[in-house]
Amino acid sequence: MFWNRAMETIRPDELADLQLKRLKWTLSQAQEVGLYKRKFKEAGVSPDEIRTLDDVEKLPFTYKKELQAGYPFGLFAVPMKKIVRIHTTSGTTGKPTVVGYTRQDLENWSELIARNMTMIGLGEDDIFQNAVNYGLFTGGLGFHYGAEKIGATVVPSATGNTRRQIEMIEDFGVTAIHCTPSYALHLAEVAESMGKTLDTLKTGIFGAEPWSESMRTELERRLGVKAFDSYGLSEMYGPGVAFECPEHDGLHIWHDCYLVEIIDPKTGERLSPGERGELVITPLVKEALPLVRYRTGDVTRLMEDGCSCGRGQKIARITGRSDDMLVIRGINVFPSQIEHVLRSLPEVGEQFMVYIDRVKHLDEMTIEVEMSRAGFSGELQDLARMQKKIAGELHNTLGLRTAVKLVEPGSLPRFEGKAKRVIDRRGAI
Amino acid sequence: MEKSYIVKQISIFSENRPGRLAAIAGALRDAGINIFAFSIAEADGFGVVRALVDRPEDAHRTLTDLGFRVSFTDVIGVKMRDEPGGLSEIASILGDAGINIEYAYAYSGRDGAVLILRVDQAEDAVRQILARGGELLKASLSQ
């Protein structure tokens, strides 16, 4: 099933024309942004020189830290009166990245979600539980409006209270659910403990964190669903950038809205189709926040074979990151953010370690900090207060609960070369 | 006058894991420092070891040099009769004097029993206890 058959199955030559036209439009939109005026000048390239799609290689990359430097609205290409919503995502050193949306941007975004959901057979007969964070996180509202667009009955359950989520699935006869894969597994476990079989549930949409084929098998078995991988990032609206079709063999990237390249993250050179590298995206229809060759940090490859569903370009499932970004319960966390918070606290010494574990299928982050000399008054309650303060500051910045452990000075490892302060003990999901 | 009854307790930050007390006690042994009394207060994953020692300054330096986080805390030591009713007697004095105890621990040695108190206003507490006939440990005993 297609939501927009013409666009989803557009002929390659027509697509190339459309992409080039939209690329030129995006570059003119980018010219409205100080950052891009400067970057084009520095790179010695003028948007007029972009005459073919391959010319995109002449353009400079955009990095996440540049978006953060424009905090809050410095990268918007339209006046604020045209911005109808903002979402934020974590930055690399404390300040978040702010993503603005015009009315047309929201329309484009919900169109893409509608395509994704229709592609996997969902429609107005479905009852769709959207069990992700609503609010600044793009997953909630993004799917919400796309699901309404296809006429599904939306249950905006958001996150938390797992038993209630399970009751809703049962009582409302929910047929499709969207959540993180780790939360889905937790849901399955709680449902099993409640003796619920969730018979109405047929479709699971899982995203915001990478997950493996063995995880797919387990989720499909335990929840009784067909599991689909959803890829997106807030900088590109949010979820909906690429999505699995019923073939379950790669994710279709919405070719009329996103121009993709795979590069070697070290050299920045473009890799041939089939080679694994960092995904670089130039959005083609974004009004409020146009981006040029955005470095996603996600590692994948372009798949060469066509798809029997008739849609275009696919990327392989994301296998990791080309940088040190962590995904904890669907939230992006950079070790530099943690460092930034800890360094600003006088009670905390130089050394810290971060451990990530999966406890009952949910990610838990533990941060061990050494106390500074100034930090110890001798009173137990001051230590407890300090522990709470550190956890509070981290929560403010990361949007994530963490367990803070105070440890003795000298007990954490010292690094001579590159410090390895983050130990991810989760293994593959 | 009141100051001479204010005793320096050393407080040492310690993780709550096996061997940490041994490390502290071992360091004090090697420095020839005697511990009169000590207690451990425990919170979430860590604790504070509190001790009265014969040479607090040396203990502070020794442990700090070894990398421990150490600080001095003012406490007072109230002498008790080492027989039934000893604590009750002292507790009534403290209650009558309106002294609020943050924490306390006790030891019983050759010269009788002592209740060590961490209170809000140490000098004020000293005055109140002495005025009600209580007997206090001299700080000089532990210097």
Residue ranges of the domains in chain B? 7-73, 75-142
Name the closest residue on chain B to residue A377, using Cα atoms: B71
Name the closest residue on chain A to residue B72, using Cα atoms: A378
Distance from C-alpha of A365 to C-alpha of A341, rounded to nearest angstrom: 15
Q: Dihedral of the CA atoms A23, A26, A31, A34 (nearest 10)?
A: -120
State whether A410 and B41 contact (CB < 8 Å): no
Burial of B119 (C-beta count, 10 Å sphere; 0-12/13-18/19+): buried
Residue that wins the pLDDT comparison between A284 and B97: A284
DSSP class of residue A57 equals G
The pLDDT, as a whole number, for residue A417 is 61
Interface size between A and B, measured as CB pairs under 8 A = 51
Q: Which residues in chain A have their CB less than 8 angstroms from residue B43's CB?
A: 380, 383-384, 387
Work out the minimum CA distance from B84 to partner chain A, whole angstroms. 31
| Among candidates A373, A377, A387 on the partner chain, residue whose Cβ is nearest the Cβ of B44 | A387
Nearest to A66 by CA among A294, A287, A268: A294
Burial of A340 (C-beta count, 10 Å sphere; 0-12/13-18/19+): middle
The alpha carbons of chain A give a radius of gyration, in whole angstroms, of 22
Compute φ and ψ for A210, nearest 5 degrees: -70, 145
Q: Can you state the percent helix, strand and coil of chain A, rounding each to 5?
A: 35, 25, 40
State whether B13 and A377 contact (CB < 8 Å): no
Is the distance from CB of A218 to CB of A185 less than 8 angstroms? Answer: yes
Distant-in-sequence, close-in-space partners of A371: CB < 8 Å, separation ≥ 6: A347, A348, A349, A383, A386, A406, A407, A408, A409, B13, B69
Q: Can you state the percent helix, strand and coil of chain B, rounding each to 5?
A: 35, 40, 25
Query: CA dist A8 to A12, A206, A310, A311, B115, Å?
Result: 11, 22, 8, 5, 82
Instruction: Report the SS3 class of residue B90.
Output: helix
Name the closest residue on chain B to residue A406, using Cα atoms: B46
Is the distance from CB of A234 to CB of A87 less than 8 angstroms? Answer: yes
Q: Is the ipTM of this complex over 0.90?
A: no
Work out the minimum CA distance from A381 to partner chain B, whole angstroms. 9
The pLDDT, as a whole number, for residue B143 is 46
Give the mean pLDDT of B80-86.
89
Q: Which residues in chain A have their CB less than 8 angstroms from residue B44's CB?
A: 384, 387
Distance from C-alpha of A258 to C-alpha of A252, rounded to nearest angstrom: 11
A27-56 b/e (C-beta count within 10 Å ≥ 16 → b): bebbeebebbeebbeeeebebeebeeeeeb
State whether B20 and A383 contact (CB < 8 Å): no
Name the closest residue on chain A to residue B8, using Cα atoms: A378
Q: Which residues in chain B have their CB less than 8 angstroms from residue A402's CB?
A: none
State whether A408 and B71 contact (CB < 8 Å): no
Measure CA B106 to chain center.
8
Distance from C-alpha of B58 to C-alpha of A78, rounded to nearest angstrom: 68
How many other C-beta atoms are found inside a 10 Å radius of the C-beta of residue B61?
13
Name the closest residue on chain B to residue A405, using Cα atoms: B45
User: Which residues does A contribute to its contact with B (CB < 8 Å)?
Assistant: 371, 373, 375-380, 383-384, 387, 405-411
Query: CA dist A74 to A62, A282, A293, B27, Å?
Result: 14, 19, 18, 58
| Among candidates B11, B13, B44 on the partner chain, residue whose Cβ is nearest the Cβ of A384 | B44
CATH topology agreement for domains B7-73 and B75-142: yes
State whether A407 and B46 contact (CB < 8 Å): yes
State whether A378 and B67 contact (CB < 8 Å): no
| pLDDT over threshold 80, residue B138 | yes
Is the distance from CB of A356 to CB of A398 less than 8 angstroms? Answer: no
A362-386 b/e (C-beta count within 10 Å ≥ 16 → b): ebbbbbbbbbeeebbbbbbeebeeb
Residue that wins the pLDDT comparison between A203 and B124: A203
pTM of the model: 0.76
Give the mean pLDDT of B74-78.
94
Q: Which residues in chain A have their CB less than 8 angstroms from residue B47's CB?
A: 380
The pLDDT, as a whole number, for residue A296 is 95
State whether A408 and B15 contact (CB < 8 Å): yes
Burial of A73 (C-beta count, 10 Å sphere; 0-12/13-18/19+): middle
Chain A interface mutation, best of B24, B42, B46, B105, highest count of A Cβ atoms under 10 Å: B46
Find out if CATH 3.40.1390.20 is the number for domain B75-142.
Answer: no
Work out the minimum CA distance from B78 to partner chain A, whole angstroms. 21
| Among candidates A377, A405, A408 on the partner chain, residue whose Cβ is nearest the Cβ of B14 | A408
Q: Which residues in chain B have their CB less than 8 angstroms from residue A410's CB?
A: 67
Q: Which residues in chain A have their CB less than 8 angstroms from residue B20's CB?
A: 408
Which stretches within A358-409 are classed as H helix? 380-398
Work out the minimum CA distance from B81 to partner chain A, whole angstroms. 29
State whether B13 and A371 contact (CB < 8 Å): yes
Cα angle vertex A131, ends A127, A137, to 5°? 125
Q: Which residues in chain A have their CB less than 8 angstroms from residue B41's CB?
A: 380
Q: Which residues in chain B have their CB less than 8 angstroms from residue A378's CB?
A: 11, 48, 70-73
Nearest to A403 by CA among A414, A421, A417, A387: A387
Query: CA dist A138 to A24, B19, B20, B77, Å?
Result: 27, 48, 47, 61
Name the closest residue on chain A to residue B9, using Cα atoms: A378
| Among candidates B15, B45, B72 on the partner chain, residue whose Cβ is nearest the Cβ of A378 | B72
The pLDDT, as a whole number, for residue A416 is 65
Q: Which residues in chain B have their CB less than 8 angstroms from residue A406's CB?
A: 13, 15, 45-46
Residue B80: half-sphere exposure toward Cβ, Cα within 13 Å: 25
A98-127 b/e (C-beta count within 10 Å ≥ 16 → b): bbbbbeebbebbbbbbbbbbbbbebeeebb
**Tokens describing residue A170:** 């049962």
State whether B43 and A384 contact (CB < 8 Å): yes
> Beta partners for A279?
A262
Q: Which fold has domain B7-73?
A: VC0802-like (3.30.2130)
Region class of B117: left (phi > 0), else alpha (psi between -120 and 50), else beta: beta
Q: Which residues in chain A have their CB less than 8 angstroms from residue B46's CB?
A: 383, 405-407
Q: Which residues in chain B have their CB less than 8 angstroms from residue A367's CB?
A: none
pLDDT tens-place values along chain A, 429 residues long: 999 999 999 999 999 999 999 999 999 999 999 999 999 999 999 999 999 999 999 999 999 989 989 999 999 999 999 999 999 987 666 678 999 999 999 999 999 999 999 999 999 999 999 999 999 999 999 999 999 999 999 999 999 899 999 999 999 999 999 999 888 988 998 999 999 999 999 999 999 888 888 889 989 999 999 999 999 999 999 999 999 999 999 999 999 999 999 999 999 999 998 999 999 999 999 999 999 999 999 999 999 888 999 999 999 999 888 888 888 988 888 888 888 888 888 888 878 899 999 888 889 999 999 888 777 888 888 888 999 999 999 998 888 899 999 998 888 887 766 678 889 998 766
Query: Which CATH code is given to the segment(s) A331-424?
Result: 3.30.300.30
| pLDDT over threshold 80, residue B111 | no
Chain A interface mutation, best of B69, B75, B101, B102, highest count of A Cβ atoms under 10 Å: B69
Q: Which fold has domain A1-322?
A: Rossmann fold (3.40.50)
What are the boundaries of each domain within chain A?
1-322, 331-424
How many other C-beta atoms are found inside a 10 Å radius of the C-beta of residue A315?
20
